């Protein structure tokens, strides 16, 4: 076997090996309730549910393309706190939605619009948690990502606490925190690196990287791990913390694996992006995804499925809200 072929095979199998190593954790979490989800859950009670979500997402993103990555991010923020229970959608004085960490989230009006249409066709039947999960899939496809089948049957949570939003990764954590956070949700090292690849598209507020540009770890200097030309570009782009900057500095409008090539060129926007390439626990996966573009495309659907199954509520563990922003009144 030639060395190049050996390297090719190695790059293909590294992520699969990593996934197998972390698989037990993910399986344990899956058995916490996700096994009660099913692909035909709404086949009789709301057969047009997916068609409604599809049409609405198509229409909204056609009007505002930034909503594509925004919906995926909203889904992640939901699943990252108390699991995928639509707790991020609740809108009261001390809910997650009111937290500082949630300030730049958007797409709530899209989910409300989808919910209102579904309530007309199938009242009190489809949960907001299922709608947000389906919307994240449709948004991924609309922006050029892969399709995957979504199992349904999630119920909506009744608790949403502003203080719990502080646990959501915001781009400045160390790698050990990220790995342990993902593991606590039943997600693997592979899921961490692949879901970070959602940063192939979309924007970040410049406030998220001010310390990297001007005062890295209190040094009053930039983060030395940022490539020089990219650093100059970011300083021009982010003169004000209120500005926005693309997460992918090379192909910001395209869903692709170039995000991982950027990391290898020291062009990760957030410090957590760049750490994926410099940390020995995650760098082999970055290398594999960079070398095999289709690997990222295929694995993204698997990792998004895993994300959508995190700590779901089923049966009588939750409710089906009639309005996603407020609890039902009993």
In tens, the pLDDT along 285-294 reads: 999 999 999 9
The secondary structure element, H or E, covering residue 245 is strand 244-246
Residue 78 in marked binding region: yes
Please tell me whether 256 is known to bind a ligand: yes
Q: Which has the higher per-residue pLDDT, 101 or 198?
A: 198
Bridge partners (DSSP) of residue 196 are none
pLDDT at 29: 40
Q: Is 81 assigned a ligand-binding role in the annotation?
A: yes
Place of tokens 């926005």: 244
282 marked as binding residue: no
User: Predicted confidence band at 305 (pLDDT cuts at 50, 70, 90)?
Assistant: very high
Q: Which residues are catalytic?
A: 77
Specify whether the backbone of 75 is left (phi greater than 0), alpha (psi in -120 to 50) or beta: alpha
Q: What is the pLDDT of residues 314-329, one digit of tens each?
A: 999 999 999 999 999 8
* Segment 163-173 mean pLDDT: 89
Q: Per the annotation, does 248 bind a ligand? A: yes
Cβ 311 vs Cβ 83: under 8 Å: yes
* Arithmetic mean of pLDDT, 25-42: 69
Q: Which residue bears the tokens 């507020």?
A: 205
Residue 251 annotated as lining a ligand binding site:
yes
Burial class (CB in 10 A: 0-12, 13-18, 19+), 114: buried
pLDDT for residue 51:
98
Q: What is the pLDDT of residues 234-252, one digit of tens each?
A: 999 999 988 999 999 999 9
Q: pTM for the full model?
A: 0.90
């Amino acid at each position: 076997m030639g060395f190049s072929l050996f390297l090719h095979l190695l790059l293909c199998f590294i992520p699969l090996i990593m996934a197998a190593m972390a698989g037990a954790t993910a399986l344990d979490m899956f058995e916490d309730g996700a096994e009660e989800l099913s692909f035909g859950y709404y086949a009789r009670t709301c057969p047009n549910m997916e068609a409604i979500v599809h049409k609405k997402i198509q229409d909204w993103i056609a009007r505002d393309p930034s909503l594509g990555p925004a919906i995926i991010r909203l889904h992640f923020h939901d699943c990252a706190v108390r699991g995928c229970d639509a707790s991020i959608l609740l809108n009261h004085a001390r809910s997650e939605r009111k937290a500082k960490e949630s300030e730049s989230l958007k797409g709530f009006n899209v989910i409300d619009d989808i919910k209102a249409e579904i309530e007309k066709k199938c009242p009190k039947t489809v949960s907001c948690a299922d709608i947000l999960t389906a919307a994240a899939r449709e948004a991924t496809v609309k922006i050029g990502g892969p399709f995957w089948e979504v199992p349904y049957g999630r119920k909506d949570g009744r608790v949403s606490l502003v203080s719990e939003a502080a646990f959501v990764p915001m781009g400045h954590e160390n790698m050990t925190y990220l790995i342990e956070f993902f593991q606590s949700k039943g997600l693997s090292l592979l899921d961490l690196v692949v879901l970070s690849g959602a940063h192939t598209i979309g924007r970040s507020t410049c406030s998220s990287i001010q310390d990297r540009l001007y005062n890295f770890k209190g040094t009053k200097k930039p983060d030395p791990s940022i490539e020089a030309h990219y650093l100059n570009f970011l300083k021009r782009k982010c003169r004000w913390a209120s500005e926005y900057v693309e997460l992918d500095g090379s192909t910001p409008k395209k869903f692709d694996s170039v995000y991982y090539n950027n990391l290898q060129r020291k062009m990760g926007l957030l410090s957590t992006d760049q750490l994926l390439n410099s940390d020995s626990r995650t760098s082999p996966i970055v290398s594999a995804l960079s070398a095999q573009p289709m690997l990222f495309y295929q694995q993204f659907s698997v990792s998004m499925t895993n994300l959508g199954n995190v700590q779901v509520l089923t049966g009588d563990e939750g409710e089906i809200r009639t309005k996603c922003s407020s609890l039902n009144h009993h």
